[in-house]
Structure 1
Amino acid sequence: MDQNFTIPKFHLPAIIGEIGKRLPQWPHTLTLIAGLNVALKMKLLPESELTALEDKLFSIHVLDTGGKATFTYRDGLFRPQFQTTREPDLAFAANLSAFLQLVARQEDPDTLFFNRELEITGDTELGLIVKNMLDAIEWPNLPKLPLFSR
């Protein structure tokens, strides 16, 4: 990512979250799952840690958009879970800006957690495994987009 571009902290208006939680959740769930599976195919995720994710239920809730994605890892793939009968083994909740900052590596999960911008609930050991997996990802260098070039 361009060193001159930073993602600001922002909070979307409450009306967006109210509308978002009433919309179908499957589109962004499938998008997230597709991205995770592409990361698997590109071998960006440490394979040695993936066995710890087997049959675990994960939830990601983007608070200010109202979006929620629930998924599992089974038989070598991330899979969406549209109806669950149990609590997730590990759940993350934050506003969109915090998730974007996390993905862009502008902020780390520990800082966001201790600043109360990222809520993590569930299995602590599993949370550490996922955090270490995220930290170990070596993002490929992508071509610069004209939008972000100067």
Structure 2
Amino acid sequence: MLNLALPPQLVNLVARLPAAPPSLAFSAAANRLLWPALKTLDWQALVGRRYAIRVKDLGLSLRFTVTQNGFKPDDGAPNLTISATARDFLLLLARREDPDTLFFSRRLVSEGDTELGLIVKNLLDALDPESVLRQLPAPLARAAQRWMVSLQP
């Protein structure tokens, strides 16, 4: 089983960091990995809305918006906040855990616009993980595939 327990001192440090640098890094990664695949779907409902992803056990908050050109950091009040532990987010990413199961077991929390939350969930479900991984250089894509297969719920 994947254990992501970090030293409390590191978690305290991460929790004190301003949201802008991690949000910028997340937006850049999402534009590289998710945006090409997302553009093939009906993503217009996401535009202009503000989002926050909270990684509870790391004290990390990623804040962004979706524009016509992709993801962009944003520090405004989010329309939708999704919270979970790092492990649960990784299990979702690897498709080793179902978002509904995590939601009903209260391991995944959605706050704010529930209709927007369902739109986001459906879009993420429609993404093909292989098309996302193709955005990585081949050695990284192979390593990510092996890692995702090794995750246990």
Relative to the length of structure 1, the TM-score reads 0.79
The total of aligned residue pairs comes to 138
Q: Is 1:44 matched with 2:37? A: yes
Measure the CA separation in 2 of the matches of 1:119 and 1:68. 14
CA displacement, residues 83-110 of structure 1 (integer Å, 9 cap, x when unaligned): 32xx311101111111111111111211
- Which residue of the other structure, out of 29, 47, 72, is the alignment partner of 1:35? 29
Partner of 2:111: 121
RMSD of aligned Cα (Å): 2.4
Structure 1: give runs of 5+ residues left out of the alignment.
1-6
Counterpart code for 2:47: E
Aligned to 2:58, the other structure's residue is in SS state: coil
Write 1 or 2 for the structure with the bigger share of helix. 2
Give the alignment's TM-score, normalised by structure 2. 0.77
Alpha-carbon distance in 1 for matches of 2:120, 2:68: 18
Check the 8 A contact 1:11/1:95 in 2, yes or no: no
Distance 2:70 2:108 in 1: 26
The answer to whether structure 1 residue 22 and structure 2 residue 16 are counterparts is yes
Q: Does 1:143 align with 2:142?
A: yes
Distance 1:13 1:144, change over 3 A: closer
Alpha-carbon distance in 1 for matches of 2:9, 2:103: 25
Deviations 1:55-102, CA, capped at 9 Å, x for gaps: 100001111111111110122211101x32xx3111011111111111
Amino acid paired to 1:139: P
Q: What does residue range 1-150 of structure 1 map to in structure 2 within 5 Å?
A: 8=2, 11-12=5-6, 14-41=8-35, 43-45=36-38, 47-81=40-74, 83-84=75-76, 87-140=77-130, 142-144=141-143
Runs of 5+ unmatched residues, structure 2: 134-140
